[in-house]
């Protein structure tokens, strides 16, 4: 995920008339290349998940999802998202506010630090929590004394996910709020509105679609993270297996239908995210056009 | 809370006006910055600092010995070369895809456009299993390539590159697309009236303007690719010196209880990621300046 | 999103409910990859046995994964009441690095804490087109061999050691053995991190001519997925894979599970446990308790133990699998 990508959602999809200037053969060649590349690298994997999931029919598909281990994996995945997304959303708004509305020394360094979890290998993201809370780690002894379980339990999974999805909302809002500028807010404030009132009546309506988009991506990643969670989970069946881990477990038990059925839920989630995202972009685009007209 | 914050903000206006050049009446600098730093510290910096401290248990010589051992160096080489290739291929095709999306109209464009983000949302483990299924010698595409070209793409470095192209594609498309969209076609028209042909216009005018964005996309894809684990591991083959990636080295060290060794490699990877991110942020800064000048 | 939150909220509530209802004791068994099916059935039997004996309802939780990963998890604080691992070297590590159980853990249960053992065999493609019979067939040019990474997989260490011992015995000397394993691993196109990964690579992905694997894993793979496509080949000489079990003293004391964990392990050595082990393709230490039909499936072959040929796991680790030891050397270009 990246800044610019999230900053300027595709607004203008209709081809400009100038495009017609390209000779037809160039156009068709490029479209052919694009479509086949997307087909090869994106459509085919997606289709293959679905084909494998339904390889033995709808009943087999549904029954693999009905077993307690699958249910508890789905539950844990939802719980993890439920715990991490709101926290990272609050953080994202706060960080975007202080970075885009104020000038202070070290700002660009701070921005880089916020980005850091994007490019940290998931393996490292898991490792650091083992080093902190593992039995041999910094707080290991203290945690054992007080009988608090973090690693190989739900809190560890939530922490690792929190780390992985940390920048999503902030990274979406920062460019958006930068572009927006603060004139409207300043106007409201100078007219005597309180800080919170200004935030809720001016800022939120302006950033709501971008915010939702960030939340959506954050949620998708929170539910789909594998590498980091795998390191801190302990793989206890029915207890600390999230859905992506359940995919791996089922795959390793030669239960391919179950593996791909769980994978298809995650892929389905990805599709829903993408559809919602397109909708949000369209909505944001319309809102903007409307405000331009006004 | 609400009242308190406004009061605080008024009280430190004097102080803040020294720091801030603009937005002097904006409230919430202290609380948002404070919260941002606190949360950043708790969720990201303290956990990451364990890497530094754990590595400090090694002497400099030990550290150098671990990092420069042949096998670790080989894994760095594999990771960097495959990430560079993956990001490069994704840049070429990502550019073409972004170009067709922005400039041409064709049926199904919106759906394909939404699909681009699939690798962001699909869990990496699922992606890995599916890519291996498709590209293995008995898979749909693997068999085709084997029979027609005699190339084996899975279980060797090519397999890693394929997984990384999948991971990289959205980074490139989503960075280039908005820049192409915002691109002022008047310049093209002007060049055209001055007698420049299509290719000249592309090389002299369009490409230089899009290049920084393309480079950013490339760098983001590269940074992500170096740390990627879940999707690579299923298709890589994992042969020492040939297809063993850095994250796998970290895991292998961990499973031999060599925590210090694992953290030494992890720290090195982290530093590289951080430098890459700094470069990316500088690039984006540069782009913003450029577009500001235009 | 609202729907999502609502769902998650409901779920959270239900999870809490489950939590409060969960007054019964639970036992956590941390094991390696191929024992899933065995313990699935054994746990059900044990829960019934315990209920009949004491009237108490208990739960047994399972965690499976590559041996190295599981051992590290226990050392890092995964609270296993019992471990059932692939090699005693891993349990030694838990004792040594985390001090969770005494050094002499292996003497506390019958038969050196080995309720069952296994060995290493080959799986080949139907009809054995490459004519693989013995270990020296694996190093022939053009034979593609699938085996996991011995640095991360317990089973892979047995594979490697069996090949080594074969070469040392038949070709004479360490240098010859080193050359032999070097040639063998030249024929390996994929190193998965665990035994299960290798099995899927061989059967699902159709890669390789021969899979070196646990005997129980080979039987299971034939039964579950591969029948008709692959067949088993038993080499005349192989390693006795000693897969021990142990009680983790510090954890059971803390959880108040000592009696339960002890009974659980004892039950493994009981006639019922022995019978189940044989049913799931492990060689029981008291075959007389098992179903004779199950015992018949185990072919006779010359077996050696790690202690016979290599001394101890600590020595094996140091000489073969540590950084820059022999396994690393054979890969050095």
* Residue pLDDT, tens place only, C233-287: 999 999 999 999 999 999 999 989 999 999 999 999 999 999 999 999 999 999 9
- Give the pLDDT of residue C12: 52
Given a cut of 70, is residue C20 above it in pLDDT? no
Q: Is C230 exposed, middle or buried (0-12, 13-18, 19+ CB in 10 A)?
A: buried
Quick check: B176 and B219 in contact, CB under 8 A?
no
DSSP string, B136-176: STTSHHHHHHHHHT----SSSHHHHHHHHHHHHHHHHHHHH
Length of chain B (residues): 294
Task: Go through C310-332 and write b for each residue having 16 or more CB atoms within 10 A of its CB, e for each that does not.
Answer: beebeebbeebbebeebbbebbe
How many residue pairs from chains A and B have C-beta atoms closer than 8 A?
A: 343
Q: Which residues in chain A touch residue B21, judged by CB atoms under 8 angstroms apart?
A: 103
At residue B292, the pLDDT reads: 58
Residues of C in contact with A143 (CB under 8 A): 77
Instruction: Name the superfamily (CATH) of residues C2-114+243-269.
Output: Periplasmic binding protein-like II (3.40.190.10)
Return the minimum-mean-pLDDT range out of A59-68, A167-176, C223-232, C240-249. C223-232
pLDDT of residue B129: 86
- Domains C2-114+243-269 and C118-241+301-331 are alike in CATH topology: yes
B231 close to B167: Cβ distance less than 8 angstroms: yes
Q: Does C151 sit within 8 Å of B256, measured CB to CB?
A: yes
Give residue B122's pLDDT.
81
CATH architecture for the domain at C118-241+301-331? 3-Layer(aba) Sandwich (3.40)
Confidence of residue A267 (pLDDT cuts 50, 70, 90): confident
Interface test mutation site (partner B, options C78, C189, C316, C333, max chain B beta carbons within 10 A): C189
Answer whether C36 touches A (CB < 8 Å).
yes
For residue C234, the model assigns a pLDDT of 95
How do beta strands C283-284 and C25-31 pair?
A: unpaired
Q: Where are the domains of chain B?
A: 58-293
Domains in chain A and their CATH numbers?
A: 56-293 (1.10.3720.10)
- A291 pLDDT tier (thresholds 50, 70, 90): low
State pLDDT tens for residues A123-135: 899 999 998 998 8
Averaged pLDDT for residues A3-24? 48
In this prediction, residues C2-14 reach a mean pLDDT of 49
Under an 8 A CB cutoff, do A82 and C11 touch? Answer: yes
For residue range C39-58, list pLDDT tens digits in order.
Answer: 999 999 999 999 999 999 99
| pLDDT in the model for residue B21 | 44
Q: Where are the domains of chain C?
A: 2-114+243-269, 118-241+301-331
For C281-305, give the DSSP string: T-EESSGGGS-HHHHHTS---EEE-
Find, in chain B, the residue whose alpha carbon is nearest to that of A277: B114
Instruction: Determine contact: B270 vs chain A, CB below 8 A.
Output: yes
Query: Region A253-261: what's the mean pLDDT?
Result: 86
CA C3 to chain centre: 43
Domain B58-293 has CATH 3.30.420.40: no
Nearest chain A residue to C222 by CA distance is A254
- pLDDT higher than 70, residue A161: yes
**Mean pLDDT value across residues C54-75:** 90
SS3 B119: helix
Name the average pLDDT for chain C. Answer: 89
Q: Calculate what percentage of chain A has a pLDDT beyond 70.
A: 90
What are the chain A neighbours of B230 within 8 Å (beta carbons)?
122, 226-227
Model pLDDT, residue A9: 41
CB of C321 closer than 8 Å to CB of C151? yes
CA atoms of C154 and C195, how far apart (whole Å): 8
Beta-carbon contacts of residue C286 (< 8 Å; ≥ 6 apart): C269, C271, C274
What is the structure's pLDDT at A106?
Answer: 86
Of B48, B112, B278, the CB nearest to A128: B48
Neighbours of A153 (CB within 10 A): 20
Task: Report whether pLDDT(C31) > 60.
Answer: yes
Higher pLDDT, A209 or B43: B43
Residues 6+ apart with CB under 8 A from A155: A149
Q: What is the predicted pLDDT for the residue at A4?
A: 37
* Average pLDDT value over all residues in chain A: 84
- Identify the weakest region by mean pLDDT among A162-176, C4-18, C230-244: C4-18
Rounded CA gap, C63 and A234, in Å? 7
Print pLDDT tens along chain B (294 aa): 333 334 344 444 444 444 444 445 688 888 899 999 999 999 999 999 998 888 888 899 999 999 998 889 999 999 999 999 999 999 999 999 999 999 888 888 888 888 888 887 788 888 888 898 898 888 888 888 888 888 888 888 999 999 999 999 998 998 888 888 877 777 788 888 887 788 888 888 888 888 888 988 898 899 889 989 888 988 888 888 889 999 999 988 888 888 888 999 999 998 988 888 888 878 777 777 766 554
The tokens describing B132, both together, are 């291996």
CA distance B72 to chain A (A): 16
pLDDT value for A8? 39
User: Least CB-CB distance to B9: which of A195, A226, A243?
Assistant: A195
Q: What does the pLDDT read at residue C57?
A: 93
Residue B83, SS3?
helix
Put simply, whether A122 touches B (Cβ < 8 Å) is yes
Q: What is the mean pLDDT of residues A78-107?
A: 92
Confidence of residue A93 (pLDDT cuts 50, 70, 90): very high
Contact residues on chain A for B172, CB-CB shorter than 8 A: none
Q: How far is residue A227 from each of residues A233, A245, B50, B248, measured CA to CA in Å?
A: 10, 9, 19, 11
* Interface check C72 vs B, CB under 8 A: yes
In this complex, the residue of C69, C72, C190 whose CB is nearest that of residue B155 is C190
Cβ contacts of A161 within 8 Å, gap of 6 or more: A80, A81, A83, A84, A222, A225, A228, A229
C227 to chain A, any CB pair closer than 8 A? The answer is: no
């Amino acid at each position: 995920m990246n800044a610019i990508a999230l900053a300027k959602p595709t607004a203008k999809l209709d081809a400009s008339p100038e495009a017609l200037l390209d000779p037809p053969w160039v156009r068709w060649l490029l479209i052919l290349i694009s479509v086949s590349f997307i087909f090869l690298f994106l459509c085919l994997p997606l289709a293959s998940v679905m084909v494998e999931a339904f390889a033995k029919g709808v009943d087999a598909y549904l029954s693999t999802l009905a077993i307690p281990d699958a249910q508890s994996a789905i539950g844990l995945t939802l719980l993890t998202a439920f715990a991490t997304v709101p926290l990272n959303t609050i953080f994202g708004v706060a960080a975007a506010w202080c970075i885009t509305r104020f000038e202070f020394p070290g700002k660009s360094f701070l921005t880089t630090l916020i980005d850091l979890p994007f490019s940290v290998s998931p393996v490292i993201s898991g490792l650091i929590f083992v080093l902190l809370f593992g039995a041999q780690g910094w707080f290991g002894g203290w945690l054992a004394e007080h009988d608090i379980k973090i690693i190989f339990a739900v809190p560890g999974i939530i922490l690792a996910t929190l780390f992985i999805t940390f920048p999503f909302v902030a990274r979406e809002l920062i460019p958006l709020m930068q572009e927006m500028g603060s004139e409207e807010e300043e106007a409201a404030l100078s007219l005597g509105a309180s800080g919170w009132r200004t935030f809720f009546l001016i800022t939120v309506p302006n950033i709501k679609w971008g915010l939702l988009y960030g939340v959506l991506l954050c949620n998708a990643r929170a539910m789909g993270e594998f590498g980091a969670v795998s390191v801190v989970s302990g793989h206890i069946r029915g207890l600390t297996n999230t859905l992506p881990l359940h995919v791996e477990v089922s795959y390793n038990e030669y239960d391919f239908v179950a593996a791909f059925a769980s994978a298809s839920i995650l892929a389905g989630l990805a599709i829903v995210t993408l559809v919602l995202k397109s909708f949000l972009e369209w909505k944001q685009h319309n809102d903007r056009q409307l405000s331009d007209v006004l | 809370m609400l009242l308190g914050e406004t009061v605080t903000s008024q009280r430190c206006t004097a102080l803040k006006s020294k720091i801030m050049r603009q937005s002097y009446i904006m409230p919430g600098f202290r609380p948002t910055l404070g919260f941002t730093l606190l949360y950043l510290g708790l969720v990201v910096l303290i956990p990451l600092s364990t890497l530094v401290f754990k590595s400090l248990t090694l002497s400099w010589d030990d550290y150098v010995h671990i990092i420069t051992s042949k096998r670790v160096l080989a894994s760095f080489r594999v990771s960097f070369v495959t990430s560079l290739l993956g990001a490069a291929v994704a840049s070429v095709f990502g550019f073409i895809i972004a170009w067709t999306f922005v400039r041409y109209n064709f049926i199904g464009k919106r759906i394909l456009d939404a699909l681009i983000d699939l690798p962001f949302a699909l869990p990496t483990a699922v992606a890995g299993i599916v890519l291996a299924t498709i590209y293995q010698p008995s898979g749909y595409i693997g068999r085709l390539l084997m029979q027609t070209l005699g190339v084996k793409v899975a279980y060797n470095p090519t397999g890693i590159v394929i997984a990384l192209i999948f991971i990289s594609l959205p980074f490139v498309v989503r960075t280039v697309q908005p820049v192409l969209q915002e691109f002022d076609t008047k310049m093209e028209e002007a060049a055209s009236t001055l007698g420049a042909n299509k290719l000249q216009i592309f090389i002299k005018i369009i490409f230089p303007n899009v290049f920084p964005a393309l480079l950013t996309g490339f760098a983001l894809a590269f940074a992500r690719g170096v740390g990627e684990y879940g999707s690579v591991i299923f298709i890589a083959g994992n042969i020492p010196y040939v297809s063993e990636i850095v994250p796998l080295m970290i895991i292998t060290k961990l499973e031999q209880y060599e925590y210090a060794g694992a953290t030494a490699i992890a720290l090195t990877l982290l530093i590289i990621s951080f430098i890459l991110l700094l470069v990316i942020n500088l690039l984006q800064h540069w782009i913003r300046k450029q577009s500001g000048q235009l | 999103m609202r729907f999502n939150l609502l769902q998650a909220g409901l779920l959270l509530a239900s999870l809490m409910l489950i939590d409060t209802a969960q007054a019964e004791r639970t036992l956590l068994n941390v094991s390696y990859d191929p024992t899933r099916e065995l313990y699935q059935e054994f746990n059900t039997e044990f829960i019934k046995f315990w209920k009949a004996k004491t009237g108490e309802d208990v739960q047994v939780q399972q965690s499976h994964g590559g041996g190295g990963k599981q051992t590290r998890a226990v050392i890092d604080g995964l609270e296993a009441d019992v471990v059932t691992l692939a090699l005693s070297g891993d349990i030694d590590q838990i004792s040594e690095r985390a001090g969770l159980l005494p050094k002499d853990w292996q003497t506390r249960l019958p038969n050196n804490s080995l309720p069952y053992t296994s060995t290493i065999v080959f799986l080949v493609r139907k009809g054995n087109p490459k004519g693989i019979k013995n270990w020296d067939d694996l190093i022939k040019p053009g034979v593609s061999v699938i085996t996991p990474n011995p640095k991360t997989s317990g089973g892979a260490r047995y594979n490697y050691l069996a090949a080594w011992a074969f070469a040392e015995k038949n070709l004479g000397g360490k240098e010859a053995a080193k050359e032999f394993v070097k040639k063998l691993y030249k024929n390996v196109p994929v190193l998965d991190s665990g035994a299960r990964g290798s099995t899927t690579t061989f059967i699902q992905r159709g890669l390789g001519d021969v899979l070196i694997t646990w005997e129980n894993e080979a039987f299971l793979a034939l039964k579950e997925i591969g029948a008709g496509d692959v067949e088993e080949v038993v080499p005349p000489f192989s390693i006795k894979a000693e897969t021990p079990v142990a009680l983790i003293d510090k954890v059971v004391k803390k959880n108040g599970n000592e009696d339960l964990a002890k009974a659980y392990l004892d039950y493994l050595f009981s006639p019922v446990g022995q019978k189940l082990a044989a049913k799931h393709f492990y060689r029981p230490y008291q075959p007389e308790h098992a179903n004779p039909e199950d015992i018949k499936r185990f072919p006779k072959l010359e077996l050696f133990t790690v202690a016979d040929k290599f001394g101890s796991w600590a020595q094996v680790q140091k000489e073969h699998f540590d950084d820059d030891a022999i396994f690393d050397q054979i890969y050095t270009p």
